[in-house]
Amino acid sequence: MIGSFPTTRHRRLRQSPWVRDLIAETTLTVHDLVLPIFVREDNDATQSLPYPGFYRYAIHELKDLAEKAVALGIPALMLFPIISHDKKDPLGSESAHSNNLLIRALDELKRHNFPIGLWADVALDPYTTHGHDGVILNNKIDNDATIDKLIDLTLLLTKHGVDAICPSDMMDGRVLRLRNALDSNGFQDTLIVSYTAKYASCFYGPFRNILGVKKLNGPADKKTYQMAYTNAQEALHEAAFDVQEGTDMMIVKPGLPYLDIITKMASTYSTPILGYQVSGEYIMIKTAAKEGFLDEKSAFLETCVAFKRAGARAIITYAALEIAEWLRDA
């Protein structure tokens, strides 16, 4: 029996805040947020970006930032390095350099022993002159040669105490090979937070510009490794492999246009799923708010609750600090 009008009135449960709060199916807390951070060289003073709300932090600024995140209760930070052009090459060799920017950033954060998870993105695009996530051989992104490089970077990060590595390259079999490499080097406890369903998307545009990738050289796009946005079933196939290969969490990316993917994966697998509100999604809200077309706070809170409602356990968002403050002050 589902009830009928007029004995059942749906609006009875919507008439005041206390009853709406009581029956809420979904909640958003600060513990649902992961903050991505762009790290720049200390001597690179070009702070200004054409993108509202994006910051590039120098290593000496990380302590304050992490303190703020810890005080707010954010569980994890995800680090992305902005490698200077003179250090990039076609093989992304800087990624294996023991004193590279990402490692120095990690050392600085580890030094303070902050009670916060330190995650690092693992892919070659910050380090390659062509801007692809992998090594190019015969004008193709070579799967297995790329994984060799990702293993080097992963072991380096792990030696410097990273809590989770986040392979964002979409090579086949990399979760398995990374897990094996970690385990055989004594790092059984390092988490793998894999980008499981990562679509070839225009919404990564601002991110690439921030990293200094003006235009991809070699293959013109990332469609031979990132997924086609026409496909949902394929995400389940990817998830089946990542779960079997030992991923600890799965990222779906971009976020908002892909909530159906989150829901499908969450109803099939119990491995926690994270939605990534990517740079293009973030900038849409920021820009619209700056122009006065949208209320920023409402837009971020609504979109983040939507991720949770779809089945995401947490959200990676550039707005994590602001959202945490809004939640604190609510």
| Contact characters 121-160, ligand PBG, x per CB under 6 A | x-x-x-------x---------------------------
**Of the candidate residues 63, 104, 110, 208, the single one contacting ligand PBG (CB under 6 A):** 208
**Binding piece for ligand PBG, criterion CB under 6 A, among 25-33, 52-60, 118-126, 322-330:** 118-126
The residue annotated as part of the active site, out of 88, 149, 222, 253, is: 253
Are 242 and 70 a contacting pair, CB within 8 Å? no
**Of the candidate residues 204, 225, 258, 300, the single one contacting ligand PBG (CB under 6 A):** 204
Annotation says 198 is catalytic: yes
**CA nearest to 175, candidates 152, 201, 153, 195:** 195
* Nearest distance, CB of residue 66 and ligand PBG, angstroms: 20
Q: Which of residues 222-261 bind ligand PBG (CB under 6 A)?
A: 222
Residue with tokens 């969450």: 266
Count of residues of this chain found to bind ligand PBG when the rule CB under 6 A is applied: 11
Q: Judged by CB under 6 A, does residue 72 bind ligand PBG?
A: no
What is the rounded distance in angstroms from the CA atom of residue 111 to the CA atom of residue 87?
Answer: 25
Are 76 and 315 a contacting pair, CB within 8 Å? no
Instruction: Report the Cα 178 to chain-centroid distance in Å.
Output: 18
**CA nearest to 274, candidates 13, 26, 72, 32:** 32
Annotation says 308 is catalytic: no
DSSP letters spanning 241-274:
HHHHHT-SEEEEES-GGGHHHHHHHHHH--S-EE
* Nearest distance, CB of residue 319 and ligand PBG, angstroms: 12
Q: Which of residues 304-323 bind ligand PBG (CB under 6 A)?
A: none
* Nearest distance, CB of residue 44 and ligand PBG, angstroms: 20
- Cis-peptide into 6, omega within 30 deg: yes
**Of the candidate residues 278, 285, 310, 315, the single one contacting ligand PBG (CB under 6 A):** 278
Are 130 and 98 a contacting pair, CB within 8 Å? no
**CA nearest to 238, candidates 181, 179, 175:** 175
| 63/299 with CB nearer ligand PBG | 299
**CA nearest to 38, candidates 121, 137, 100:** 121
| 32/199 with CB nearer ligand PBG | 199
* Nearest distance, CB of residue 204 and ligand PBG, angstroms: 4
The residue annotated as part of the active site, out of 88, 198, 222, 308, is: 198
Residue numbers annotated as active site: 198, 253
Q: Which residues bind ligand PBG (CB under 6 A)?
A: 121, 123, 125, 133, 168, 204, 207-208, 222, 278-279
